Amino acid sequence: MTANVKTSFFSQAWLVLILAICFGALLAGMQIALGPTIEANKTNETLGRVPELVFGKDRAQELIERKQTVAINPQSVGVEKAGKTLRYSVFETRTDGELAGWVVKTAGQGYADKIEMLIGLDPNIEKITGIFVLDQKETPGLGNKIVTHEWRSQFLAKATDKPLVTVKGKASAANEIDAITGATISSKAVTDTINATVNNLRKPLVDKAKGK
């Protein structure tokens, strides 16, 4: 009985092996064919947003039409905080060799889960030139609205000298942001993340700008 099972097992195993080899080859071929496209998708997700965040939509469009090259240099900036090193992914943007701005990829705890975003900053970290939400799992219809263009456009040209504050009514002072009705926590999460990130990166990036 055991001998039968053994022989039949091996006589069947050849099919599994042949199939495994065929499928392996198929998958390897697919990896070679599609790998570059997928990598490009991943990097373009962030890189593609950088011109718009640094220059604003209109000027970025203008640069594309004039075929001006925008050099984007991804870097990793470490910040010492409470004994730990926080690493930020920073995109240094230059046109014609001159520093045009920074884009920082950062994340913060939102209402439901982490909110990942890109923050555009001017060369001296004095103004916010735009934000873009990469990933969020906030409540659809409420916290979800942080991705909308109208809400995000509030952050354009906001100064970074004072921390941003969310208000429930109409935003009046220069550092106030109108919170989304019914989604105060998500709105606060975004402003808090921006405040923390700008605070952490102000010195290193200003030093980098001067050092270059």
Partner 1 sequence: MAEQPTSLERFIQGILPENPVFRQLLGLCPVLAVTNNMKSAITMAGAVLFVLFCANVIVSLIRNLLKPHLRIVIFTLTIATFVTIADRFLAAYLYQMSKTLGPYIPLIIVNCIIICRCEVCASKQGVITAGADAIGTSIGFGLALSAIAAVREILGTGMFFEIRVLPAAWPDWVVMVLPPGAFLTFGLLIGLVNWYESFRTAKAGRTQGQTT
Partner 2 sequence: MMNYLVDIFLIAVSAALINNFVLHYFVGICPFVGVSRRIEMAFGMGCAVTFVISIAAFISWAITTFVLVPGAPLSQWIAGFFVPAETAAKVDLTILSYIVYILAISSSVQFVEMYVRKFYPPLYKSFGVYLPLITTNCAILFACLTIMANIVGVDDPADAWDLGRSLVLAIFGGVGFTIAIVIMAGIREELDLCDVPEPFKGAAITMIVAGILALGFMGFTGVDSGLRKALTPKAGNHALIEEGPSSPMGAQITTNHHIG
By the criterion CB under 8 A, which residues form the site for partner 2?
Answer: 23-24, 27-28, 30-31, 76, 81-82, 84, 87, 89, 109, 111-112, 163, 165, 184-185, 188, 192, 195-196, 199
HSE-CB at 50 with a 13 A cutoff on CA atoms is 24
Instruction: Name residues contacting partner 1, limited to 153-212 (CB under 8 A).
Output: none
If contact means CB under 5 to 8 A according to the sort of partner, which of partner 1, partner 2, none does residue 82 touch? Answer: partner 2
If contact means CB under 5 to 8 A according to the sort of partner, which of partner 1, partner 2, none does residue 9 touch? Answer: partner 1
Helix (H, G, I), strand (E, B) or coil at 140: coil
Q: Which of 192, 185, 50 is nearest to 108 (CA)?
A: 192
Q: Which of 74, 176, 187 is nearest to 136 (CA)?
A: 187
* Structure token pair of residue 163: 């921390």
Torsion of Cα atoms, 98 then 103 then 104 then 108, to 10°: 160
**141 vs 169, beta carbon nearer partner 1:** 141
In the complex, the residues that contact partner 1 under the rule CB under 8 A are 8-9, 11-13, 15-16, 19-20, 23, 26-27, 30-31, 34, 37-38, 41-42, 45, 135, 139-142
